[in-house]
Structure formats: structure tokens, C-alpha cells
């Protein structure tokens, strides 16, 4: 397999189209298409589902993982030698390194859940501001599903709830994110039944269809009957609960002093949920991945201990 073919595969999957991949690699769409066809001929498998966006087949996911690893290793060798690695896989528009030009940066693709991104993960972003040799490419999904991005080769590392390592990865515990069932006093008053509330009638806010936190603390009848709102943004989700749109499970850091001030109250009869988070990263001898891991682990000290 040729390096330019592997980089073409990464670009097509990341960018979603052959045209966007061509712009990233600074070649023609025809050249990208030829490289993908040559790679598929070499492997004897269809690697890319042509669509909008283009996606990797099962065979393509296997090759994609290796392609990212190869490019990461080659980039670090080039950095150590003080030479250019040619076409940069991260597509930052820089040409070969040399006098008057900026050396290509290594692209670190990783998956993180939205609630982490809105609470403790910004410390990672602040630290990454000091890196002049790498760029972060974040993929956001529910913490129950970020592991799938590792398996598919879409990312190098992930914040996930899975404590069993994906093949080829190492796993480290980060801590526990505690979620509390909360609502505004006025919403609770509208649905008060004795000492509790009618969860079958009280509206609930969910992040998206993958969000099962609210379902985990209710009965099947309450889940099926209750009206629910979908708010697929962590910050907007918290604002929706604070506005009284519905009750929801909020991470402790997003609640802040709202319980003490009375702006929010615990939903009676519902327990908190502790979600353990883990860091999974490819097992490669890479200084970029070691630095990223150290930074994430340090930032995660804001979480509850495991």
C-alpha cells in the first residue's frame, strides 16, 4: 500500500467527499479517485462507500486505522529528522517545511462526549493552545458510543464509558461524572402528586435518541407516556432544564449553586446516576499521544474519583 493512497483514504473519510479530500491534499479529485481505486485493487476489497458523505466499509475501517497510525508515525519521524513529510494528512495548507514556511502539524483526532466537552475538557483545550506541532480534531458523540469511533478507525483516542480496551488500544480510568435529576420548582409544582411527581405527565429533556440517562431512572410506563424534548447540545440542554422546558439529568458541574439557591430542585423519587469515564488510546509509541493522554488525565482530576 502506498502512503499517498492511505492518506487519500483518510482524507476522503474525514472530509466526506472526494472533492473536499482533493482540496485538503492539494491535488485533483481525479488523483484522489485514482489513489482510492488503486488501494482497493491492492487490497481486493471495496474500502469506501460512495455517498454523501462517503463512509468506510468494514474492510475500509481496518485499513483506515492502519493509515492513521502510519501517518502519525511518519510525521513524528519527519519531525525528529527536521524534514518535511510531504503532503500533510491534516491538510493545513502548508507546503514542505523550510525557510519561511511553517512545518505541518500532526492531526490528533479524538472522540469526546458533549457533557465532558462542556465541563472538565476545556482544560485540555487551554493546554492544546500551547502546542505548535499539533491540531485537535474533535468528534462529539454520547459517551456510550465514542468507543465505536475507535473501532472504525475514525479517531486515535476517545473518552468513553467502555472499560474493555478496543483491540490495539490501552485504557485508563478517568473518574466518574455524577448526574442529578433536576427541574425548576414551578415545573415540579405543576406535576406534584402527594410527596412525589407524576413522571408519566411531566415533560423530560433528552440530548438525543441515544441519551438513556433519563430512561435509566424511570419505569417503562413512565418512559412511554411522558412527553419529551430533544436538545442536542450540552449547554442548551442545561439551559432548557433551567428554563423549565422539562426535567433532566444534569452533570454536577453544570448545576453549580442552582440547588442551593432554589432555582433548581431534585426530582423526588429519582436517584442520581454515576457514569464512569475511561480514556482509550491507540497503543503506539507516539510523543503526541503521550502528551495528549497526560493532558486528558490531568484535566479529568476535576471528576469524582473512581
Q: What CATH number corresponds to the domain at position 169?
A: 3.40.190.290
pLDDT at 96 over 60: no
pLDDT tier at 87, thresholds 50, 70, 90:
very low
> 113 and 88, same structural domain?
no
Mean pLDDT, rounded, for 241-253: 97
Q: Are residues 237 and 209 in the same domain?
A: yes
Residue 92's pLDDT is 40
Q: Which of 104, 136, 161 is the endpoint of a domain? A: 104
Helix (H) or strand (E) holding 192: strand 192-193
Q: Give yes or no: residues 112 and 33 share one domain.
A: no
The confidence band for 277, taking pLDDT boundaries of 50, 70 and 90, is very high
Helix/strand/coil (H/E/C) assignment for every residue in 179-241: EEEEECHHHHHHCEECCEECCCCCCEEECCCCCCCCHHHCCHHHHHHCCEEECCCHHHHHHHH
Containing structural domain, residue 229: 106-306
**Quick one: pLDDT at residue 82?**
76
In the predicted structure, residue 83 carries a pLDDT above the cut 90: no
Question: The CATH number of the domain where 86 resides is what?
Answer: 1.10.10.10
**Residue pLDDT, tens place only, 158-174:** 999 999 998 889 999 99
Distance (Å, whole) CA 155 – CA 162: 15
Domain count, the chain: 2
Mean predicted confidence (pLDDT) in 114-130 = 97
Task: Say which residue the cell 405527565 belongs to.
Answer: 201
Average pLDDT along the chain: 91
Same-domain pairing of 29 and 145: no
**DSSP line for 26-91:** TS-HHHHHHHHHHHHHHHTS--EE-SSS-EE-HHHHHHHHHHHHHHHHHHHHHHHHT---SS-TT-
Q: Give pLDDT tens digits for 173-232.
A: 999 999 999 999 999 999 999 989 999 999 999 999 889 999 999 999 999 999 999 999
Categorize the per-residue pLDDT at 84 as very low, low, confident or very high, splitting at 50, 70 and 90: low
Question: Could you read off the pLDDT of 26-43 as tens digits, one per residue?
Answer: 999 999 999 999 999 999
Q: How far is CA 154 from the centre of its chain?
A: 10
User: Which region, left, alpha or beta, applies to residue 256 given φ > 0 means left and ψ of -120 to 50 means alpha?
Assistant: left
Instruction: Kindly state the percentage of the chain with pLDDT values over 90.
Output: 78
Q: Are residues 224 and 271 in the same domain?
A: yes
**pLDDT number for residue 91:** 43
pLDDT at 253: 94
pLDDT at 153 over 80: yes
The domain boundary, picked from 104, 135, 151, lies at 104
Q: Are residues 76 and 142 in the same domain?
A: no
Residues 25 and 122 in one domain: no
What would the mean pLDDT of 86-92 be, rounded to a whole number? Answer: 45
Model pLDDT for residues 31-75, shown as the tens digit of each residue: 999 999 999 999 999 999 999 999 999 999 999 999 999 988 888
* The three three-digit cell numbers of residue 153, written as one number: 478507525
Amino acid at each position: 500500500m502506498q502512503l499517498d493512497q492511505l492518506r487519500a483514504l483518510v482524507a476522503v473519510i474525514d472530509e466526506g467527499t472526494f472533492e473536499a479530500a482533493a482540496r485538503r491534499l492539494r491535488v485533483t479529485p481525479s488523483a484522489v479517485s485514482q489513489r482510492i481505486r488503486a488501494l482497493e485493487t491492492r487490497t481486493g476489497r471495496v474500502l469506501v462507500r460512495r455517498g454523501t458523505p462517503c463512509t468506510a466499509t468494514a474492510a475500509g475501517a481496518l485499513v483506515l486505522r492502519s493509515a492513521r497510525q502510519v501517518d502519525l508515525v511518519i510525521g513524528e519521524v519527519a519531525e525528529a529528522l527536521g524534514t518535511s513529510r510531504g503532503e500533510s494528512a491534516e491538510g493545513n495548507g502548508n507546503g514542505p517545511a523550510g525557510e519561511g514556511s511553517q512545518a505541518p502539524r500532526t492531526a490528533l483526532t479524538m472522540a469526546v462526549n458533549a457533557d465532558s466537552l462542556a465541563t472538565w475538557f476545556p482544560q485540555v483545550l487551554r493546554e492544546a493552545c500551547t502546542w505548535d506541532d499539533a491540531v485537535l480534531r474533535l468528534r462529539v458523540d454520547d459517551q456510550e458510543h465514542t468507543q465505536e469511533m475507535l473501532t472504525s478507525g475514525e479517531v486515535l483516542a476517545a473518552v468513553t464509558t467502555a472499560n474493555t480496551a478496543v483491540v490495539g488500544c490501552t485504557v485508563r480510568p478517568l473518574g466518574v461524572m455524577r448526574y442529578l435529576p433536576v427541574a425548576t420548582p414551578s415545573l415540579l409544582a405543576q406535576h406534584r402528586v402527594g410527596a412525589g411527581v407524576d413522571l408519566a405527565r411531566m415533560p423530560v429533556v433528552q440530548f438525543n435518541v441515544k441519551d438513556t440517562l433519563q430512561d435509566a431512572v424511570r419505569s417503562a410506563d413512565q418512559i412511554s407516556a411522558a412527553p419529551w424534548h430533544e436538545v442536542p447540545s450540552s449547554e442548551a440542554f442545561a439551559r432548557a432544564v433551567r428554563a423549565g422546558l422539562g426535567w433532566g439529568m444534569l452533570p454536577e458541574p453544570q448545576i453549580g449553586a442552582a440547588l442551593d439557591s432554589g432555582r433548581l430542585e431534585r426530582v423526588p423519587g429519582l436517584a442520581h446516576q454515576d457514569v464512569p469515564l475511561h480514556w482509550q488510546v491507540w497503543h503506539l509509541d507516539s510523543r503526541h499521544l503521550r502528551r495528549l493522554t497526560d493532558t486528558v488525565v490531568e484535566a479529568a482530576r476535576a471528576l469524582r474519583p473512581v
